[in-house]
Structure formats: C-alpha cells, structure tokens
Amino acid sequence: MNLHASSTIKEIRQKYNLQLSKSLGQNFITDGNVIDSIIEGAGIGPDDLVIEIGPGIGVLTAAAAETAAKVIAIEIDSRLIPILEETLAEYDNIEVINRDILKTDLNEIVEEQVRAGAFAGAVRIIGNLPYYITTPIIMQIFESGVKADSVTVMMQKEVAERIEAGPGSRTYGAISACVQYYCDVEMIAKVPKEVFVPRPKVDSAVLNFKIRKEKPAQLKDEKVFFACIKAGFGKRRKTLLNSLSGVCGLDKSAVGEILGEAGIDPSRRAETLGIEEFAAIANLVAERSTAGDTTHE
Ligand code: SAM
C-alpha cells in the first residue's frame, strides 16, 4: 500500500468514516519526496530510536521504521489508533502511544527504551507538527533536556523562518534566540501547501535542529536568561534600558548599570543582540537578583 497517496488517504477516510480535524492540525503529507527529506534530514541509522510527534495515518512512521531500530509515535487522536494498527501492521518495531505530546515526558520514554535495550544508537525526534502548537512543542523538547541527537520537524514556513533568523533580521525574535541557545538550526526543505490533504492556507518548511553538545554561553540561571529574552522582545520597539526594566524585579537604574557593566549600549534593541550578549546581561541580572534574595533572608 502506498500510504502517502491521496487515493489511500481517501480510502482510509471513507473506510473509517474519518472527518479530519482542523483544530488538531490534521494536514497529511501526500508527497514521497517530502517524506524522504524529513527521514534523510534526520539522519536515522539502524541503531537509532525515533520519536515521532503526530503520526496521523503513519506515513513518516512507516518510513522511519524501515531504517530505525525502534519508533515511538505519539498521537493525541484516539480515532487514528485503529487506523495506525492497520497501516503499520507489517512493522514490529513501532509503538504508538495515544497521548498529548505536551503531556508526555520524553525523558521517561527514552529511559524506558534504554532499559529495554531497544536501541544502541542516537535518539531522533521527527514530525510534521500540528501547527497550532509548534512553538510549545519545540520549547518542551529543548526545555525537557531530553537526550535527543537531532530534531527534524515540519512547520508553517513563516514560523520556520522566524526560528532560523539571526540578530538584525526583521523576523529574529524570542523563539529564535531561545532555540538557538540549544541548537544549530538549518532549513532543509520548503514545502508548498499543495502537497497536503486537506490543503492548508500556508506553505511549510522542514527545520533540522542539531542539539549543541556545548552551549554558546555559560549561564548562571537558564530561567533568568529566558526571562531577559522574553522581556527584551516583549517590547521589541523599545530600547533595552526600557524593555528590560522590571525584569526579575530590577528597576531601570539597576538595568542601566548592568548594561554598562556588560558593555552593551542601553539604546540598542533586543533584535540586535546575539546569544552571548543576552547571556552576559542575564548572568549579571542573575547575580543581582540572587544578591537581592539573600538580603531578604
Ligand atoms: N505525520 C502525519 C503526516 O505527516 O501526514 C500527520 C501530521 S498532522 C500535520 C499532525 C498530527 O498531529 C495529526 O495526526 C494530529 O492528530 C496530531 N496531533 C495534534 N495535536 C497533538 C498533540 N497535542 N499531541 C500529539 N499529537 C497531536
């Protein structure tokens, strides 16, 4: 069975009387080249564990299972579970979990698979993401600290461009800075909306995230670093002096001193700062807010 053929998707929809859910972002891939670009981009080897987010009817799942040692696919829609049982019946190295990815502990899944001796290679996360929760999913993956070697996922093209953007670009924002702290980002494919069923309103792109073994900056407190990025971009048209005022309870004069100490012009805006500069600010903010905490003890 050619799973990704439009005719197969049509047959499955008729057989199971399946109305695809817009609110769950159910736009299925119908192009073998897109599947190949995700699978090849992920660099899946025969010893690897693949975790797939949102398998749908299993087109990527089956392709990953051809190469990987084990595939765990996490799907929220219980109506798709019997369908996946049918479409993936020939594979004995796939486990489908009916769960919300945002309520799934990825570390626990990996640890379980390690304990079971299910794989001896890398951990690779793949998916054609449900677009309504792209950013929460990506942040959850990185914040969880899951020991994944790569993350290769498709998303709305505009979101991919924002994540990939660097300082000085119009699209550089909090999500770009946060993600680029954790990994190197590469756009590996642009995908037109015509290759999905049903056809979404927007084009898509596949990003490959290579998780950094060494972070680009030493942080005193990751939470403070993210708070500074959020504050800076929260008021992106304001100068750093204004946008960072109030971060971690620090007033404007403290922020001015910190920017001076970090050698950063207070009239600059967040969109011009690289990761190292955010880190320098955040480390000074962390020092001051900890010092503040101690005086209250
Ligand atoms: N992988 C399939 C493909 O490419 O044809 C389907 C991709 S479709 C864009 C997104 C999939 O994610 C759907 O199957 C949808 O039901 C599932 N999904 C949506 N929200 C989810 C969530 N919170 N947790 C897990 N899966 C979810």
Q: What is the pLDDT of residue 294?
A: 41
Counting as low any pLDDT under 50, the low residues of the chain are 294-297
CA 282 / ligand 1 centre spacing (Å): 36
Which of 4, 19, 28, 72 to probe ligand 1 with, by most ligand atoms within 8 A of CB? 28
Q: Are residues 134 and 29 in the same domain?
A: yes
Report pTM: 0.92
20 and 132: one domain?
yes
Number of separate domains in the chain = 2
217 in a structural domain:
no
Please tell me the predicted confidence (pLDDT) of residue 253: 96
177 inside domain: yes
Centroid of ligand 1 to alpha carbon of 229 (angstroms): 29
Instruction: Give residue 292's pLDDT.
Output: 56
Q: Which two tokens stand for residue 250?
A: 């620090």
Query: Residue 1: inside a domain, yes or no?
Result: no
Q: Whose CA is nearest to atom 17 of ligand 1?
A: 54
CB 124 within 8 A of CB 42: yes
Q: Decide which of 182, 211, 240 is a domain's last residue.
A: 211
Centroid of ligand 1 to alpha carbon of 101 (angstroms): 9
Quote the Cα angle for 50-85-141, to 5°. 30
Check whether residue 245 and residue 137 sit in a common domain. Answer: no
Domain extent, residue 283, equals 222-296
Quick one: three-class SS letters along the chain? CCCCCHHHHHHHHHHCCCCCCCCCCCCEECCHHHHHHHHHHHCCCCCCEEEEECCCCCHHHHHHHHHCCEEEEEECCCCHHHHHHHHCCCCCCEEEEECCHHHCCHHHHHHHHHHCCCCCCCEEEEEECCHHHHHHHHHHHHHCCCCCCEEEEEEEHHHHHHHHCCCCCCCCCHHHHHHHHHEEEEEEEEECHHHEECCCCCCEEEEEEEECCCCCCCCCCHHHHHHHHHHHHHCCCCCHHHHCCCHHHCCHHHHHHHHHHHCCCCCCCHHHCCHHHHHHHHHHHHHHHHHHHHHCC
- Domain contains 88: yes
Place of tokens 């970090």: 262
Residue 253 belongs to domain with CATH number: 1.10.8.100
C-alpha 144 to ligand 1 mean position (Å):
20
Q: Are residues 178 and 48 in the same domain?
A: yes
Domain boundary among 211, 230, 256: 211
Give me ligand 1 centre to Cα 278, in Å. Answer: 34
Cβ < 6 A, ligand 1 pocket:
24-29, 54-56, 59-60, 74-77, 80, 100-102, 128, 130, 133
pLDDT score for 289: 81
Give the pLDDT confidence score for residue 271 in this predicted structure: 96
pLDDT digits (tens, 9 = 90+) for 21-39: 999 999 999 999 999 999 9
